Chain A
Amino acid sequence: MIEAFMTFKFLQYALVAALLIGFTAPFIGSFVVVRRMSLIADALSHVTLAGIALSLLISGMVSSLAGLNPLYLGIVTAVIAALLIDWLRSKYRHFQELAIPIMMATGMGLGAIFISMANGFSMDLVSFLFGTVSAVTLTDVYTILIVAVIVIVFVSLFYKELLFLSFDEEQARVSGIRLQLVHVVFMIVVALVIAISMRIVGILLVSSLITLPVAAALRFAKSFKATIFWSIVFGEVATIAGLILAYQFDLAPGGMIVMLAVLELIIVMSAERFVGGKHHGKTTRKSA
């Protein structure tokens, strides 16, 4: 099997893509989760479906665009959706979560229309829904690499601001941080991460790669740095192992990766029972 990964270019592409995604998704995910925006990630990924479907439809109709990489239109859709969600949230100050079903419905509705216009599901589309081991191209890898670099640069630059904003918005405002700017850029970055991750994990499962590793890290991490660190460890293990297993057993990588992330979470939660009474005490207090 290792031999296969040594020989086949497409497997190497998939592996590099998985490495990058396993890092960036939980990295930005740490902020997404503490800002209680997990569901927004879910909404964004569903809207991205519309972009992918539209791209596939266009490729099918316009022969000169037959080779258009659906990732591009997916990225554009995700970013537009992120800005729209933000705008909707400001319109429904007291019912901010309404932005999620509104965008999700719009995205899925458009997606359904585009898919039926393109005469139903193609193999290509299915690979975007659940991820793929075999269809990752070199352009995909470059696109993913560029976006990953953007994400890492952004988070390193705005680390202080993002953490402060997430922890204590009022204090962050009083310290003169340009919240609106940081927030909008953050939304765009989240959209980018979602768009690139779907190549490997698939649209329907992207948000779990953003949230599940963080959910596991949150069970025991005391500091924010540790939360990020462990989220990335869990994310990498799940994506790499998931990809290899998916290839081995010829399964959708998205499903494999997410189930491994779930397994990690289960392991962490069961380990709490055995490691130190302290954690145990904390959980009982919470449920009380």
Chain B
Amino acid sequence: MSEPIIEINHLSYDYPDRRVLSDISLAVRQGEFLAIVGENGSGKSTLIKCILGLLKPEGSIRLFGRELDQFDEWWRISYVSQKAASFNSGFPVTVEEVVEMGLYAKKGLFKRLKKGDRTKVRQALETVGMWDRRSSKVGDLSGGQQQRVFIARALVNDPELMILDEPTVGVDQRYVKEFYEILEELRADKKRTFVLVTHDIHFVSRLVTDVVHLIDGKLGCNCGIKEYWELDEKEIRSLYPVPGRVLVHEGERV
């Protein structure tokens, strides 16, 4: 069997005042679609940031078979952060310029964008329905529109691994649906791997192959989607230290 795309062994992470992740081990293989779920503050975003090398945890992380600190093929990965739109809204940069940034990692130093790159930018922007606004300043768009631009930036470099931390927060229902349709299309290429942090796993259950359920920074369950549905609510609830504190399957409420 091929090497996992992401392999995490005994990962723990502390913020100065508290332990946020403890002893997480998991592997994501090529073609898998991993959903990370868990209540607010359970450590989902922190886990993602560790995987991306933005935070330095204890334990080991391997990406595409290489230790994280030796990994340098970042163009194989794209990332949409939970608060993608938290930039300085006065920044003088257009929608098109932002999406071009998605291509920079692949370009390497000193190389300029070519005509083929412009076509890619156009396609990505058309996919999220923002091509008409390509010359607008990003700060002048609504929050949901900005998020769509950041999604386009993640799509533009045709990544092998997409890491998405609640990418559709603030995006209206129509485009959420379209976004998941795009993901479904991208899924058609079975080589592509996804990690998605989400609160509505029901919405994407058709796509998901595996689920990681974080509970207070610990691995509550790490299993296939079928098994996950078979776990009944009581079993998941029993994973929590304080019973009855949480609504499981938040998506159901929506």
Contacts and interface: CB of A to CB of B under 8 A. Distances in A.
A complexed with B: yes
Interface of A: 34, 36, 157-158, 160-161, 163-164, 166-168, 170-177, 217-218, 221-227, 282
B81 A222 contact: no
Given A167-B93, A225-B97, 18 more contacts: A34-B88, A36-B88, A161-B109, A167-B98, A170-B81, A172-B101, A174-B52, A174-B74, A174-B79, A176-B73, A177-B104, A222-B94, A222-B135, A222-B137, A223-B96, A223-B97, A226-B92, A227-B92
B123 interface: no
A177 B75 CA distance: 10
Q: How big is chain B's contact interface, by range?
A: 20 to 34
Nearest to A34: B91
A282 B140 CA distance: 9
A168 B137 contact: no
Contact of A224 (B52, B90, B92, B140): B92
Interface string B75-93: 1010101000001101111
Contact of B94 (A166, A174, A223): A223
A240 to B, nearest CB: 25
Contacts of B109: 157-158, 161
13 contacts: A36-B88, A157-B109, A167-B87, A170-B81, A171-B153, A173-B54, A174-B77, A175-B75, A176-B105, A218-B90, A221-B92, A223-B135, A224-B94
Nearest to A157: B110
Provide the main secondary structure of the chain A interface.
Answer: helix
Contacts of A223: 92-94, 96-97, 135, 137
A217 B91 CA distance: 12
Contacts, number: 78
A2 B58 CA distance: 70
Contacts of B25: none
Contacts of B79: 171, 174
B41 interface: no
B107 interface: yes
B87 A176 contact: no
B202 to A, nearest CB: 29
Nearest to A160: B104
Nearest to A30: B92
Between B54, B79, B92, the greatest number of chain A beta carbons within 10 A of the residue's beta carbon is seen for B92
Given A176-B75, A222-B137, A167 B91 contact: yes
